[in-house]
Amino acid sequence: MRVGYARVSTEEQNLDMQRRSLKAGGCKLVFEDRGVSGIARSRPQLDKALASLKQGDILVVWKLDRLGRSLSHLIEVVQALGERGVGFQSMSEAIDTTTASGKLLFHVMGALAEFERSLIAERTRAGMAAAKARGEAVGRPRKLTQNQLEHAQHLIETKDKSVKSVARSLRVSRATLYRNCREARRTILAPGQ
């Protein structure tokens, strides 16, 4: 059985063209999400469409972007379908994983997506190394400023305040206070205080 899935991002958009194309493409059943963004993790009608598919069925979409949030998500969904013995077809891009050429095209797309992820990771690592070489801080900024750390040190050493009470007054956890001190290379606090 051919099962269609249609989606529009806003309530104002119309599903008619997708619906007509899917029906003309032989879909007996069409699930429709209206007003649901493609990046949404949960799409109720897509979830129902995927649950309804049985081995030998084919999930059909009008365009690839109707199904996946990204190329990697799209590949993940289609691979999961393949593992269940379910085919996939995108009408606009003429991709049909029930054919050898369709499978090949989809695998090439998957390889390109993996290559792109590797390039991004490589560029990120190179950028971080360059920033470190320039002496720039890499990563999330510290929660506490240098002045706050000095104030914490003063309270603990001269006012005999506990680490817990100082952390509470700064609105951070004790772990955050310890970590920020360690990162600032300040040894003002002994663990366990």
pLDDT for res 188: 55
pLDDT, residue 189, reads 52
Domain ranges of the chain: 2-98, 146-183
On whether the pTM is more than 0.85, the answer is no
Q: Check if CATH label 3.40.50.1000 holds for domain 2-98.
A: no
Q: Which residues make Cβ contacts (< 8 Å) with residue 169, sequence separation at least 6? A: 155
Catalytic residues: 9
Q: Of all helices (H) and strands (E), which one includes residue 110?
A: helix 100-133
pLDDT value at position 187? 56
Q: Are 191 and 178 within 8 A, CB to CB?
A: yes
Q: Write down the pLDDT at residue 26.
A: 95
Counting as low any pLDDT under 50, the low residues of the chain are 191-193
The model's pLDDT over 49-66, given as tens digits with 9 standing for 90+, comes to 999 999 999 999 999 888
